[in-house]
Amino acid sequence: MNNNNNKLTSTRLSLLRRCPRLHFYRYELGLSRTRTAAALRFGAAFHAGLEVYNRDANDAGGMRRALSCYDVTPAWADPTDWAVERETFQSLFAGHLWRYGADNLEFVAVEFSFHVPLVNPATGVRSRLYSLAGKMDGIVRLGDGRLAVLEYKTAGEDIAPDSEYWLRLRRDGQISQYVLAARAMGYDVATVIYDVTRKPTIRLRQNETPEAFGVRLLADIEARPDYYYQRREVPRLEDELREYQAELWQQAPGRGRAGCRETRR
């Protein structure tokens, strides 16, 4: 149970479902990327800044922590592209603090790590090999008194309330895992709140500086905040939680899953 290789996170389970071979490379052989993808880098910075803000309700502290991820331009990065990404991040993060600065969410836990047993739902027996682990962005109390898991996302697609993005989240097993884990840790969680920030589609203009682009983006955010920010409840039914528990037990590594197919080019 103390071996990190025996911990099943939502990221690991997602990779296992998508391609067992990649799962083997990453979690059995320990291979990983030498360069962080832009989407992961952006999301990590967003989470880092919001963690500081949610703990201290300090806009400046959250911004400083978030932007520290962009303090040093990597040797492999184009300086202009890096500066534009930094300005994009700064505008979106500032817009998020403005958008939700007066919300009524009461934080019960911030960046809440969990490590709970993997249980056979049919027998109640704990797995001797695997456990469930991960980190939630927060557990909050809503205005009506219910507890909810709060999950932050950054997306590069339409996040309007009627978009397919929300339909996919509704089917995402991650929310089931988080609800089950929170309950196992003693939190009577009733639902999940997804807080999603959309990345811009506007781009740097010819002869425009990264700083001027950031100002233009901030003005666009102020003009149409719903385009960039959506916060919605994504509930999980008890039947769905039981089904997910059964899936977790069956999908644990080492149950004879075949390797993934080669991707055609």
pTM of the model as a whole? 0.80
Per-residue model confidence (pLDDT) at position 24: 65
Average confidence score pLDDT of the chain: 85
- In the chain, where does DSSP find H-type helix? 10-18, 20-23, 38-56, 59-67, 79-100, 164-171, 173-184, 210-223, 225-228, 238-251
Helix, strand, or coil (residue 112):
strand
Closest CA relative to residue 113, chosen from 37, 184, 191 = 184
- Kindly report, residue by residue over 114-163, the tens digit of the pLDDT: 888 888 888 888 888 888 888 899 999 999 999 999 999 999 999 999 99
In a domain, 28, yes or no: yes
Does residue 162 lie within any of the structural domains? yes
The answer to whether 228 and 221 are in contact (CB under 8 A) is yes
Cα separation, 263 vs 17, whole angstroms: 15
| pLDDT for 130 | 84
CATH code at position 56: 3.90.320.10
Give domain status of residue 263, yes or no: no
Q: Is residue 257 part of a domain?
A: no
* C-alpha dihedral (7, 13, 18, 22), degrees to nearest 10: -10
Q: For residues 17 and 189, what is the distance between their CA atoms, to the nearest angstrom?
A: 26
**160 within domain boundaries:** yes
> Is 262 inside any structural domain?
no
At 124, list the tokens. Answer: 């109640």
Does residue 182 form part of some domain?
Answer: yes
By residue range, what is the domain housing residue 186?
4-251
Query: What tokens were used for 242?
Result: 């039981």
Does a structural domain hold residue 29?
Answer: yes
- How many domains in the chain? 1
